[in-house]
Structure 1
Amino acid sequence: MGLSISLFMLMHLLALLSLYNLMFASSSFVQPLCHDDESFALLQFKESFIINQSASYEASAYPKVSSWKLESDDCCSWDGVGCNKDTGHVISLDLSSSCLYGSINSRSSLFRLVNLQRLNLSYNDFNHSRIPVGIRQLSNLTHLDLSNSGFAGQIPAEILHLSKLVYLDLEQNLLKLQNPGLRSLVEKFPNMKELYLTQVNISSTVPNNMANLTSLTSLVLRECGLQGEFPAGIFQLPNLEVLSVRFNADLTGYVPEFNRSSPLKRLRLAVPSSLGNLTELIYLDLSYNNFTGPVPSSFGNLTKLINLDLSYNNFNRGTLDWIGKQTKLMKLGLENLNLNSSIPFFIRNLTQLVDLRLSKNGLHGSIPNWMWNSSKKSLQNLDLSNNFLTGFHQLPVILPWTNLRGLDLSNNKLQGSLPIPSPSIITYSVSNNTLTGEIPKMICNLSSLDALDLSYNNLSGMLPDCLGNLSFSLSFLNLRRNNFNGKIPQICKKGSRLQMIDFSQNQLQGRIPRSLVNCTMLETLILGNNQINDSFPYWLGVLLELGVLILRHNQLQGAIGKPKSNFVFPNLHIVDFSYNSIIGKLPLEYFRIWKAMQIIGKNGPIYMQANMSFDLLGYTWNSGYAYSMTFTNRGIEIAYERIPYIFIAMDLSSNKFEGEIPELMGNLKGIQVLNLSNNLLTGSIPSSLEKLTALEALDLSQNKLSGEIPLQLTQLTFVAFFNVSNNHLIRPIPHGFQFDTFQDKSSWIVWKSFAKEMWKFQGLIAPSFKSRLKVAI
């Protein structure tokens, strides 16, 4: 009986233990909700920014914070937010490529997330603000990534309080690391594993104590202004796999001998022959070092290489045949090596290539047929630009690389018809060749195309109507200086992504297509030097991003008229309607509302361009297609290869404008070039032009202006070109400031000839020329 009771009690106890374990196991799977104070802090952080698609230029960028909602009771489920499974505290925040625009101050609610261990704010635009000193409050951080995010100024000393950091990426900002400097950083982070400081202005020697960072696996100090001798002990760090110190012109030192046990897998610096001992090496980048002489024969031992870049050196081209042994190569960079040959035959053995770049090599002859089978299915990026290639040995209907995403054949001597890549293509440039014939309609099947540049060829015929089908993917479309004729097709459909359209220097006729109003992202429209017969396209004013509008040398007629609202063309800062037949008075009402011309200087990128990217071998391949234009500046027609964002100019010359120059024109304070010449303008030169303090060139010649040149214009200290000739003005020329520096005619002619070349390559006049002035009356 006692035994039965004992057995019953034991079974009962086991049942209770099983029930307890079941209850405990069930409860362990219930993750606690996000803490209210942290949820509120995140929402406050979200509200401190503007969501702007242009703040993140990667193709995969999207606003992660758009999923953050007040009504959602668990911030741990929000995009980019990670929480501790046991406590519910926010421990990671990844808002990379989230289209955030604005700044972060030390009072930001971000710094209330004191449990954060990982913070990634890369690839946003924080508008040249400083890294806030409040960062010290995030003392639990182990990973901090602020790369490519628009921060500027000195890196604050408070970052040294983040003693747990093992990963730090501050690359490609406008930052300085000088007080504190690199030595302090090394001392405070002895356990650092990955350190990325590309383009951070360090301007110091590399401290010897960096060789004590035994946990370091990646060290990237590219383009940092480093000086003195590089500590050789860094090469011997036991865990170092990635080392890059390129583009530090004042950095010296030597590379020690390597043994086979070295963990290095990625190396970017000068090269010894003993590198051939690194038989496990899979990544070797020796580009941009200007090496001369032969490539060490020992490199033939590096048969496991997947990534090899020898670009921008002067190696003996006869010592590169060993590359054919690297049959596992996926990325090969051989740019600017002065090969001066046909396409190297050793490439035929490389059947797994994904990225092949052979630009600037003096390559000549035709592209051989054997390339069709070289990496036919794997090749995604091919750059043969800036050579002397004459065409394809046998041009197929569609180029055979079935997964090609980037193709650059520009600046060659290609003849024949336009090559058509596979439908996978994203960026395609064949500019500056001698291609002939029409654009095949097959090009409209390239539904992933982001950039298309066919400029400076001899292509002809009418533009295919189906080009409008590409507007859903295209950002950049350049057909400049060909022989196209007929009407411009309805290029834009609703949902268009086009940012730049250039159809200039062709023989296009008819009207400006009204479908352009669907191009809501359009920044630059250049239709100059055609035969367009239309009135002023006031309806383009709804394009809020439009900054450059060039319609010069066409057959525009009628008056500009009045704007339909007070919010049209808000970003327009370059206008060229010259050499048309526009009549009536100068558009006073437009001058009043063109806000972008009323600002001196702007924050943001230096040049206007369309950015595009795609994934390639685990990294993001980025490319920027710069906008270009032809514009008359200081009496000279200049080809701007890049358009500065801060350039503000207006050319209404060679039309039939009449009446007086309005006083309101003085409100366009940011304008640098103003050309109203060769019109029918009357009255006096308004003294309000003295407000144009950024003005560098003013041309009012060949009108019917009268009176004196206002004395106030002598205050325009940046003026380098001033032409009021062929009017009815009364002498004398005012004296004072810049007006006293003009040269006689012979001196001006010599200077103008020289300056023309400077403008051609620089896009803007060099400051040293601003003391010269032409005054013609």
Structure 2
Amino acid sequence: MEKESFHFKFLILLLTCVASHSLVSTQPHCHEDERSALLEFKATLFTIEPPCCSSATSDVQPKIESWNASTGETQGNCCSWAGVECDEVSGRVIGLNLSCSCLSGKIYSNTSIFRLLHLRSLNLALNDFNCEIPPAIGNLSSLTDLNFSGSNFMGPIPHSLGNLTRLVHLDLSNNRSIGTTLEDLTIITSSSLFIRTGCNSGSSINKCSSCSGGPYNHPFGPPVCGRQNAGPQNAGPLVNPYRFLNATHANPYRRLNATRVNPYRGEIPSSFGRLNHPKHLDRRFNFITGEVPFFLRNLVQLKSLSLAGNMLIGKIPASLGNLVQLTSLDLSLNKLKGEIPCSIRNLVRLTHLDLGYNQLVGEIPLSFQNLMELRFLTLRSNQLSGKIPSLLGRLIQLIDIDLSFNQFHGEIPNTIFQLQGLHTLNLNSNNLSGTVKLDMFSEAENLQVLGLSSNKLSLIVEANITHQYYALGLGSCNLNGFPEFLQDQDYLFFLDLSYNSISGQVPEWFLNVSTRNLRHLNLSGNFLTSFAQDPVIFKWEQLVVADLRFNELQGSVPIPAPEMWYYFISNNRLSGEISPLICNLSSIQMIDLSYNHLTGFLPQCLSNLSGTLEVMSLQSNNFIGKIPNLNGNCALVMIDLSCNKLDGPLPRSLRNCDNLEFLNFGNNQIRDVFPSWLGSLLNLKVLILRYNRFHGLIGEPAERVEFPTLQIIDLSQNMFSGSLPSGYFKNWTAMKVFETNSSSYIGDPIKRAWIFSSDATFHYSMRVIAKGIQMNYSKIQGYLTLIDLSSNNFSEAIPEAIGSLKQTVLLNLSNNILSGPLPPFMAKLTNLEALDLSQNQLSGEIPQELTQLTSLSVFNISYNRLTGPIPQSQQFATFENNSYKGNLGLCGTPLSRKCGDTKTPSSSPTSKEDQDSGIARELDWKIVCMGYASGLVIGVVLGNSMITRRRVQSLVKNFGIRKQRRRR
């Protein structure tokens, strides 16, 4: 028996050896001409020092390093080289995969690679070639798969690409300035062509990292594009956290900087509808305009269609119901309006449907009940209304449901609680009501993401909750304490407990919740008073977003983990100095410590954070000393240090902040001359220097173009002298061009795709004082232009150049020593809503031309030396007495002195009481404190309504100038 066993084992060993020898002996041997072409190709390139992408670590050699010129049996056989595939019969090179090979250099049409005429697959993705795609690519007519994504190609797609009639997969995405000509690609006749050219960039690419895939499945926000390290590592036995930041349900994009240069623009040409039965069409993140084309109905073989991230308008055409083979439809991130068409009932094979981030209205159609294969449903961020239909609970394949940021009302249907396969349910930011018990979700055993924040729900949390969650949105759920079941949540990635009624001290056990995995924490809008220890250093190793705003926290500033990105702890009662430990935040992008009681000097090490820091909001504290200089590169977009006690000059290193849009140093003790050197910042839109000790003349600008994008400037309450800066008026081109998009806001480009329960958009905000009455802007409209040069020592006449600033909405030149006539060219400022020229030495008559200012609602020329009749037409018929008071030579309505009355008033207002009254009546447009807003505005924000003139004057008469009050 043992002998037979031995023979059997020997036979197996013999057969294994024979098979191995057979495999070696039958390995194809490459042809010499192709071997030479590959070696020649290698010689034209050089390799970047690894690690150059995430799959090329420092201990891995780039693929072409294995290509050897030796003629040995193995080394000389190019079919054995890394990345090279040969046909088993002919030995011809049919595949070349050099993706993520750390290659750099330029590829031209005479490059030897284009002599490999038998190539079927060519993958040069994720390298750095920095050149145009050579027209010789059209010579490789056997190609079925071509991938040039993320390799720094630029320029237009060559027409010769149309020669590749066998292509099945084409990926040119994530490049620099790739232009797409759809007309040229329509001659490719492959019946299953998958085209990807979107998400191209003008800047660096974060290679080998994932961005959005098919219909993204982010539970609380869209996929992150452009932020390194955007997701955590795997969180234990739960689903990969990247799934929630960058869904990969379909073929994934690479993640890259969100700036796109020269992607496809314009409408999709009708010839595209004549493609020969393509199965996949992916045109996301371009600049496609117009409506969703009707002719797409002809592409009846389509299995996936994505036009996400474009500028499509109009309705979703009912004709899409003709695409009955579709399994994936993504029209998200456009401007589509109207209702969801009922013809969607025909798409019975759909597994993914994403219509999020549009302007859709109406209810969820009953025809959804036909979509029995649906697994992922995203209708986020529309204007959908009605009740959530119970029919969704019948779609038993559903895994992810995102209905957040709509206007759904009523109770959550019980049928949804019974979806056993449900992983994600996001109902944040609707008008849902009723009482929800957390154990109602117990049947959904796989539920890992639950979003109920920002509704009108009352949540009851039972003591026996054993479910393990990955993300919990429980904001505005009428909780009055920290739910104790959180102590057992070891895999929480996201936690929102904002705007509840949680009061008192943060329990010590809470600081130990999910210390290894928690990355997003929102406790804002509660009544928290302190932590169990002071100072507190957060134990959450991976925490990148912390929002503790609008509480009653006392003590010192908590120290977050070094990996923090966004740290918001404004509007509390924190005191003491900022710990130098905060300078360990090596990845910080936004920090907001405003509206506290912090004191001391600003740490000099803050300057070391300027390479990553984009938003620094420290206003309304008690900081003293000089503003730190900035070291090296500067990424700052917004700086607000207003309402402190900072002194010294402005740091000249600010001129290195090329991206700076918003700068507010108002209400400090800064002593300096006018910072003309800031004029080189081509993105600066808001400059606030009010109530400091700036002094001297504002001379002529040194360059022809200075402050070209400036829209809001406040230099009030300083000691500037000389004439008004007419040379700068000529350069402020942004104040001359009308903003046509009334729905845009200053700061709109600064958007973050994070998973806060509030909307992921930041806006600048400001408070304006008009005659002591506060007006608040939660968002600064893109058309708003404001000039406040009041309360200085400007003299001489109003320069004619100011008449060119036609975009100006608010103009305040009061409390200066301006002389000369009230110029008629002011009538050119047809956009003016408020004009204050009070407390000057202007003389002459009021020009009749000023009656053309039909938008003017507030007008003050009091306490000047004006004479003659007051115009009675247009807006001037609405202005009251206080607009003209203190001009002894003026006559006519609304003044009591009639024109033609030669009797001179007996006295002029020289008493202290009258002088104070005059000051109280000046129209003093002041930007008191500007802030930065995200969901909740940093600072106090109440809307942007104009108070009626009668009410303003009445309040001024009774109370005089009111001082700004802080929240606490």
TM-score range for the pair, normalised by the shorter chain length: 0.7 to 0.9
Which residue does the alignment assign to 2:213? none
Q: Quick check: 2:280–2:303 contact (8 Å CA) kept in 1?
A: yes
Q: For the Cα contact (< 8 Å) 2:613–2:635, is it kept in 1? A: yes
Alignment CA distance shift 1:345-1:773 (3 Å): closer
Give the distance between the partners of 2:485 and 2:30, measured in 1 at CA. 71
Provide the C-alpha distance between the structure 1 equivalents of 2:570 and 2:129, rounded to a whole number of angstroms: 40
1:291 counterpart SS class = strand
Contact 1:67 1:78 in 2 (8 A): no
Q: Which residue of 2 aligns with 1:9?
A: none
Equivalent residue runs for 1:407-556 within 5 Å:
407-490=546-629, 492-556=630-694
Residue matched to 1:581: 719
- The equivalent of 1:92 in structure 2 is 170
Which residue of the partner structure matches residue 183 of structure 2?
Answer: 111
Give a deviation string over 1:633-654, Cα, whole Å, max 9, x none.
5774544333333211110000
Find the residue that maps to 1:25 and give its secondary structure: coil
SS of equivalent to 2:415: helix
Aligned to 1:79: 149
Instruction: Pick closer, same or farther for the CA change 1:296–1:383 going to 2, 3 Å.
Output: closer
Q: Is the partner of 2:653 in helix, strand or coil?
A: helix
In the other structure, the counterpart of 1:310 is 452
Matched, 1:69 2:123: no
After superposition, where does 1:569-648 map in structure 2 within 5 Å? 569-601=707-739, 605-608=744-747, 611=750, 613=752, 623-632=760-769, 636-648=773-785
CA 1:724–1:364 in structure 2 vs 1: closer, same or farther (change >3 Å)? same
- The residue aligned with 2:50 is none
Q: In the alignment, what sits opposite 2:833? A: 696
Change (3 A) 1:319 1:199: farther
Q: Equivalent of 2:799, from 649, 662, 671?
A: 662
Of 493, 505, 518 in structure 2, the residue corresponding to residue 379 of structure 1 is: 518
2:426 aligned partner? 285
Quote the Cα distance in structure 2 between the aligned partners of 1:371 and 1:84: 61
The letter for the 1-side match of 2:720 is I
Cα distance, 1:243 vs structure 2: 2.3
848, 854, 864: which one pairs with 1:711?
848
Q: How far apart, in 2, do the equivalents of 1:128 and 1:713 lie? A: 47
Give, in angstroms, the shift of residue 172 of structure 1.
6.3
In structure 1, give the amino acid aligned to 2:426: D
> Which stretch of the first structure deviates more once superposed, 369-378 or 394-403?
394-403
Count how many residue pairs are aligned between Structure 1 and Structure 2: 712
2:416 matched residue in structure 1: 275
Question: 2: distance between equivalents of 1:587 and 1:263?
Answer: 67
Q: Tell me: CA distance 1:217–1:379, structure 2 relative to 1, closer, same or farther (3 Å).
A: same
2:269 is paired with a residue whose SS is: helix
**Shift, 1:130, TM fit:** 8.2
Partner of 2:204 in structure 1?
A: none
Q: 1:34 to 1:520 in 2, by over 3 A?
A: closer
Q: Is 2:544 the partner of 1:405?
A: yes
Could you tell me which of 95, 99, 121 is aligned with 2:198?
A: 121
Q: Which amino acid aligns with 1:649?
A: L
Match of 2:467 in 1: 326
Give the distance between the partners of 1:694 and 1:771, measured in 2 at CA.
22
Distance 1:760 1:273, change over 3 A: closer
Q: 1:688 aligns to what SS in structure 2?
A: helix
Match in the other structure for 2:478: 338
Superposition deviation, residue 715 in structure 1: 0.7
8 Å contact kept, 1:707–1:729: yes
Distance 2:135 2:757 in 1: 33
Change in 2 beyond 3 A, CA 1:308/1:120: farther
Larger Rg: 2
Cross-structure match for 2:72: none
**Distance in 1, Cα, partners of 2:284 & 2:127:** 18
Q: Deviations over 1:295-336 (max 9, x none)?
A: 3854222232221112233443325556x3221x11111111
Q: 1:326 to 1:453 in 2, by over 3 A?
A: same
Which one is further off, 131-140 or 547-556? 131-140
**What RMSD in Å do the two structures reach over aligned CA positions?**
4.2
Q: Distance in 2 between matches of 1:28 and 1:128?
A: 31
Q: Distance in 2 between matches of 1:699 and 1:19?
A: 84
1:28 to 67, 80, 94: 94
Q: Which residue identity lines up with residue 24 of structure 1 in the other structure?
A: S
1:319-378 per-position Cα deviation (integer Å, ceiling 9, x unaligned): 5556x3221x11111111121x12111111111001111111121122111122211010
TM-score w.r.t. the length of structure 2 is 0.66
Aligned to 1:466, the other structure's residue is in SS state helix
**Offset from partner CA, 1:698-717 (integer Å, 9 cap, x none):** 11111000111111111111
Shift of 1:25: 3.3
Q: 1:424 to 1:773 in 2, by over 3 A?
A: closer
Whole-angstrom CA distance in 2 between matches of 1:513 and 1:95: 42
Structure 1 residue 734: deviation in Å? 1.4
Q: Distance in 2 between the 1:503 and 1:403 partners?
A: 29
Query: Relative to 1, partners in 2 of residues 1:86 and 1:567: Cα closer, same or farther, differing over 3 Å?
Result: closer
Residues 440, 773 of structure 1: CA spacing in aligned structure 2 closer, same or farther, 3 A cutoff?
closer
Letter in 1 for 2:595: Y
Matched to 2:184, the amino acid is: R
Q: Give, in whole Å, the separation in 2 of the partners of 1:326 and 1:465.
A: 47
Partner of 2:70: none
Is the 1:682–1:704 Cα contact (8 Å) retained in structure 2?
yes
C-alpha distance 236-185 of structure 1, shift in aligned 2 (>3 A): closer
Measured in 1, the distance between the counterparts of 2:565 and 2:863 equals 52
Distance (Å, rounded) in 1 between the aligned partners of 2:726 and 2:263: 35
Structure 2 SS opposite 1:714: helix
Aligned equivalents of 2:386, 2:849: Cα separation in 1: 52
Provide the residue aligned with 1:734 in structure 2. Answer: 871
Q: Is the 8 A contact 2:778 2:944 kept in 1?
A: no
Contact 1:225 1:250 in 2 (8 A): no
Give the gaps of 5 or more residues in structure 1: 1-13, 37-62
Structure 2 counterpart of 1:219: 353
Alpha-carbon distance in 2 for matches of 1:744, 1:682:
22
Q: Pick closer, same or farther for the CA change 1:713–1:765 going to 2, 3 Å.
A: farther
Check conservation: 2:30, 2:92, Cα contact below 8 A. no
1:283 is matched by which residue type in structure 2?
T
Confirm or deny that 1:558 pairs with 2:696.
yes
Residue 770 (structure 1) shift: 10
For residue 240 of structure 1, what is the amino acid of its counterpart?
A: L
Pair 495,228 (structure 1): closer, same or farther in 2 beyond 3 Å = closer
Residues 84-93 or 190-199, more deviating: 84-93
Contact 1:99-1:124 at 8 Å conserved across structures: no
User: Could you say if the C-alpha distance between residues 151 and 717 of structure 1 is closer, same or farther in structure 2, counting changes exceeding 3 Å?
Assistant: farther
Give the direction of change, closer, same or farther, for the CA distance of 1:88–1:705 in structure 2 (3 Å limit): farther
Identity of aligned residues (%): 35
Question: What is the distance in 2 between the residues matched to 1:85 and 1:149?
Answer: 24
Contact 2:336-2:359 within 8 A present in 1 as well: yes
Partners of 2:30 and 2:861 in 1: CA distance: 98
**1:191 equivalenced with 2:326 (yes/no):** yes
The Cα of 1:417 is off from its aligned counterpart by 0.3
CA distance in 2, matches of 1:158, 1:27: 40
Matched residues in 2 for 1:608 and 1:198: separation?
19
Amino acid at match of 1:699: D
